[in-house]
Amino acid sequence: MELLHSGKVRDLYTDGDDLILVASDRISVYDVVLPTPIPDKGRLLTALSLWWFEQLADLVPNHVISSTDVPAEFAGRAIRCRRLEMVPVECVARGYLTGGGFAEYQRTGAVSGLELPRGLVEASILPEPIFTPSTKAPAGAHDEPISFAEVVEKVGAQTAERLRQITIDVYCRGAELAADRGILVADTKIELGWAPDGTLVLADEVLTSDSSRFWPAQSYQPGRAQFSFDKQYVRDWAAGSGWDKQAPAPEVPAEVVEATRARYVEVYEKLTGNRWD
């Protein structure tokens, strides 16, 4: 195997005609990798992604070849994948107004160029899920929201429409299944790539605690920040730490690490129905 790329939280290796995608325990916020890992995070995200790939298989093909035919040292945190030409767009769907989308709405009344009703508050449910793409920034840079028209400029009208439809379909299926388990999916980010035959294929991770915001339905209340089963807890700690959001980042306190891992475990168990061992 040969290391092809080391990202913020994942490492990609070549192995013959295949790729080996390895999820580490690293965690990033504000596009900066924190120096403190979250134990079991890579295994949790891999297991949850594999579960979701199965739930979504009838909507969109995925890149998974095998979760077991991987090097022993990466067992449980790696997936053998198909090679794809990745789409140069982060595909984001939002069903609720929060995070960067809420901040943009407060400034402009819109998100990614989409006008929204007046009077929405933090965590408001949107009239319908919306596609709010962003750039794919290189390491050390920040992803920036872009409009649908800018996606068309990057990939063409037909592909842009397909990206939007797949993203909304994945979000809606995920939100429906999660709601049955007492979880609201506020938003999610997916990555897609082209197979050699031109098919768009779901890649990387899907509907995990790193790529989505998960809220307990029982305590949901618009107009305030929500309890999150995801890395929002680390974002909130980082925002209040006095850190300037530029590398290098400070060490994460042990209690924040433990609470974050507990949230990742809890949402995995709630969504899949499986006990985390």
Distance CA 128, CA 245 (A): 32
Distance CA 257, CA 246 (A): 20
Instruction: Tell me what pLDDT residue 143 has.
Output: 77
Q: What is the dihedral of CA 3, 76, 258, 31, to 10 degrees?
A: 30
Amino acid letter at 114? L
Instruction: Tell me what pLDDT residue 169 has.
Output: 98
Element (H, E) at 47: helix 41-55
Three-class SS of 176-236: HHHHCCCEEEEEEEEEEEECCCCCEEEECCCCCCCCEEEEEHHHCCCCCCCCCCCCHHHHH
Q: Is residue 176 part of a domain?
A: yes
Instruction: Tell me what pLDDT residue 181 has.
Output: 98
Q: Is residue 35 part of a domain?
A: no
Question: The domain that contains 189 carries what CATH number?
Answer: 3.30.470.20
Q: 190 forms bridges with which residues in the sheet?
A: 91
Q: Is residue 203 part of a domain?
A: yes
Q: Is residue 215 part of a domain?
A: yes
Q: Is residue 177 part of a domain?
A: yes
Q: Is residue 140 part of a domain?
A: yes
Token duo for residue 243:
């850190």
Structural domain span for residue 178? 85-219
How does pLDDT run along the chain (277 residues), one tens digit per residue? 899 999 889 999 999 999 999 999 999 998 899 999 999 999 999 999 999 999 999 999 999 999 999 999 999 999 999 999 999 999 999 999 999 999 999 999 999 999 999 999 999 999 999 999 999 866 556 678 999 999 999 999 999 999 999 999 999 999 999 999 999 999 999 999 999 999 999 999 999 999 999 999 999 999 999 999 988 899 999 999 999 999 999 999 999 999 999 999 999 999 999 999 8
**Into how many domains does the chain fold?**
1
Q: Is residue 188 part of a domain?
A: yes
Instruction: Tell me what pLDDT residue 66 has.
Output: 98
Instruction: Tell me what pLDDT residue 41 has.
Output: 97
Q: Is residue 40 part of a domain?
A: no
Whole-model pTM: value is 0.94
Kindly give the pairing relationship between strand 200-203 and strand 114-115: unpaired
Q: Give the three-class secondary structure for 23.
A: strand
